[in-house]
Structure 1
Amino acid sequence: MRSATGPGLLFVLVCAMGAGPMMNYGISATSTLIMADLGISEAQFGLLAATCFAGAALSSMSLGRLSDRISSRTQLLIIFGGTALALGLMAVSGNYLWLLAAVLLSGPAQAISNPTTNRIISHDVEPGKRPGWMGIKQSGVQASQLFSSLFFPAAALIAGWRGAAVGAALVLGLLLAYAWHRLPAEPRRRTTTAAAPTNRRFPAPVWLLAAFALFSGAGMQATNVYLPLFAQREIGFTLLMGGATAAAAGVVGVASRVLWGRRMAAGVRASTLLLLLAAGAVCGAVLLLVAGQSGAQGWLWAGVVFHGASALGVNVVVMAGVLREVPKERVGAASGAVSLGMYTGFALGPLAMGVLLEASGGFLAGWLCIGAAYLVCAGIGLAYRVRDGRARSAVARGSGGKVPGK
């Protein structure tokens, strides 16, 4: 290991995970203001998130491989600097097309965040502590959701949604300065040796994790993007209260990701956790559907809690699973493959939700589709568990001993 790990490095990892999605969460939290100012429809609003995540999906494989070769500081510059630049473009965007360009620019910054942070953990953190660190650093995404859902509406009331974007960009600049000085020095990599393993195929479990990330990502991001708008239109919440629903989901999501990371560190199999998360996500979608049909705030808040505890906890289990499936020299590339599935889902979910909302005039069809996506996740989780069980049995027969949890 290059240096001793500590709270400072863990904070950098949390911030690196939270920087990329900050713009999307901010756009979601100020959705009504942006839609009214630019005169865009629900489907056009959904296309914003879809464009961002399409950019992330298209760049995830190449950036995943690149993360195994370039320095961690360079990667942090892509994450923090890229997102700050996108927020700056958002602030000066005078029309919908400019805003589309801004969200597209933020895509690669999100795409490289998992490979970067996973690679740092695989190189710098003791194996027994890695799942716990994964849970905490993945909670950075929900910490960003919490921050953005509170910061953007409040700042927008003072300086407009463009002023809020400028303020968020300044915050990212400060975080980049801290991360740049806090990250430990690393030895120069030899690209000739690093390039060799990238041509090897990934094991089948990596692709199962990618498939799970795809369908869960579609449901999760569609909910994240439209939750504040849903709360305002269907339940009658104000702008600030609509943002508070996303913030509450973020709070629960932070706790859930830490919890699921600790459960993996304790030896619980990833397949077991994925099945539990799929079941909880289905419950969350059903509760939000009921909230929309009844107009009751209680069902809404219950759905928010289930969404935060289940759908928002998937990523830590999936990414911790990647660390167990591949050697550390391939963590970046494998993380990029799983991120491809995740960001493809992130792109498709909000786009589909926006189209369904505009076509039907309500959220019912959207919640039904989200629930169906989570049911597919349950099927993938079962397939992963079957393959996991076979692999464990084969290892146990060969070693004559116990096989650790997966």
Structure 2
Amino acid sequence: MTQARDGGDSTAGESGPVRGLPALLTVAMALSMLPLFLLGALGPYLVEEFDIAAPLLGVVVTVGFAVASVLSLMIGPAVGALGPRRCLIGMFGVTAVMLAVFAIAPAYGWLVAAVAGSGIGQALANPATNQLIATRVPAPRRAGVTGLKQSGVQLGAFFAGLPLAALAAAAEWRIAVGLAAATALLAAFAALIVPADRQPARLPVLTAARPRGDAAWLAGFSVLLGAGISAVNTYIALYGTSQLDISAGVAGGLIAALGIAGIVGRMGWSAVAARRGLPGALLAPLALGAVLAALLLAAAAPFGSAFAWVGAVGVGAFAVAANAVSMVTVITTARPEQVGKDSAVVAAGFFAGFAVGPPALGMLAAAAGGRYEAGWLLVAVEFLGAAGVAWWWRRRRAA
């Protein structure tokens, strides 16, 4: 990534500022990740419904994020060719269809297919929303809007872990997922408020964005960060029900707590990053805070479930927030025309981490007879590795 030119500010008026755009982008991020959060929040129901072993839940997550990771590298350049508004509407539409398939899935294979298809929406989300921010939002507001829209990811975690999990407990998990599908369809129509892209859509060249410069370092950081976050998202509810004697409905609250902390953390730390002007400097400290949170999750088994609640909040406040700060770094340092490609590279790293994290923890838990302490220690090591990458990158950049 190269330093953005002052002249890039003029792109904020490509189609003029749009009232309600920050809220719409926040909803986009929430819905793009919702299928994965639903896997975690509804994990106890899905394991029973489809009669599968717990590690197979991690396989579903891996498939979804593997698709998202591969497509992210190609979709970044495609957003520039098709236009961010068209891609935003397409993301909502794809997500609605895949959530509907999730809701009616008659067998495990259908569930895998639905989550794999949702990877298309995940791959579109960051490049499209970041490009809209870079071209429709004045420069002084970009960091704040980025923090707000990135908090949408954890808004999705909150809704999966609390209202939708509660609906699943009171009625049926399929009804909860169906409601999410209807919400995504409504969001597709709401996206029509965004003024049309000025440039006509052109056939995208099928090239992959290449990791280079700052984007490559941020992608490496995101692989390790994503591996830890996804493992927590996928297995924390099962950890609660299997080892901490928490009911399935209450265990979903762990994901909701993580989501609320993530919303506050993303907005708060993004604001700090904007004031300091050097968002990358926050990445290593945030990753170290996440290490402590993972250790608290491990401590919950011998010392009580209270440690799990504090650990979940810590993962949201530090690890999840670090992802938002990495996106602020992309938007504030890249040239406007490069934002989509660099966002895609960093998102691909994050999704790659999300693909490997759950199966790694699932295999450790299975080898330990269904106990998760070793898995949480692995998560702590992953966060520590992310801190090391961020620290090394900052040293090289300052040299």
TM-score interval (norm. to shorter): over 0.9
Conserved in 2, the CA contact under 8 Å of 1:64 and 1:335? Answer: yes
| 1:101-180 → structure 2 map (5 Å cutoff) | 101-180=113-192
Q: Do residues 208 (structure 1) and 220 (structure 2) align?
A: no
Secondary structure of 1:282's counterpart equals helix
1:184 to 195, 211, 215: 195
| 1:16-35 → structure 2 map (5 Å cutoff) | 16-35=28-47
Secondary structure of 2:162's counterpart equals helix
The amino acid across from 2:227 in the alignment is A
Deviations 1:231-259 (A, max 9, x none): 22221111221111110111110011001
| 1:310-389 → structure 2 map (5 Å cutoff) | 310-361=318-369, 362-389=371-398
Q: TM-score scaled by structure 1?
A: 0.91
Cα shift at 1:12: 0.8
- Number of aligned residue pairs: 386
| 1:65-104 → structure 2 map (5 Å cutoff) | 65-104=77-116
The amino acid across from 2:190 in the alignment is Y
The amino acid across from 2:185 in the alignment is G
Secondary structure of 1:287's counterpart equals helix
For 2:396 and 2:69, locate their aligned partners in 1 and report how far apart those are by CA, in whole Å. 26
For 1:211 and 1:293, locate their aligned partners in 2 and report how far apart those are by CA, in whole Å. 34
Secondary structure of 1:310's counterpart equals helix
Cα shift at 1:59: 0.6
Conserved in 2, the CA contact under 8 Å of 1:19 and 1:79? Answer: no
Conserved in 1, the CA contact under 8 Å of 2:143 and 2:332? Answer: no
For 1:232 and 1:6, locate their aligned partners in 2 and report how far apart those are by CA, in whole Å. 45
Deviations 1:343-373 (A, max 9, x none): 0000100111111111212101111111111
Deviations 1:309-353 (A, max 9, x none): 101101111111112332111111111111111000001001111
Deviations 1:39-74 (A, max 9, x none): 100111111111110110111111111111112332
- Give the gaps of 5 or more residues in structure 1: 391-406
Moved more, 127-136 or 339-348: 127-136
Secondary structure of 1:68's counterpart equals helix
Conserved in 1, the CA contact under 8 Å of 2:34 and 2:156? Answer: yes
Conserved in 1, the CA contact under 8 Å of 2:365 and 2:372? Answer: yes
1:293 to 297, 302, 312: 302
Deviations 1:92-123 (A, max 9, x none): 21111111111100011011100001100111
1:255 to 264, 268, 292: 264
Conserved in 1, the CA contact under 8 Å of 2:169 and 2:249? Answer: no
| 1:238-277 → structure 2 map (5 Å cutoff) | 238-277=247-286
Q: TM-score scaled by structure 2?
A: 0.92
- Give the gaps of 5 or more residues in structure 2: 1-12
Conserved in 2, the CA contact under 8 Å of 1:42 and 1:355? Answer: no
Q: What RMSD over aligned residues (CA atoms) do the two structures have, in Å?
A: 1.9
Give identity over the alignment, percent.
33
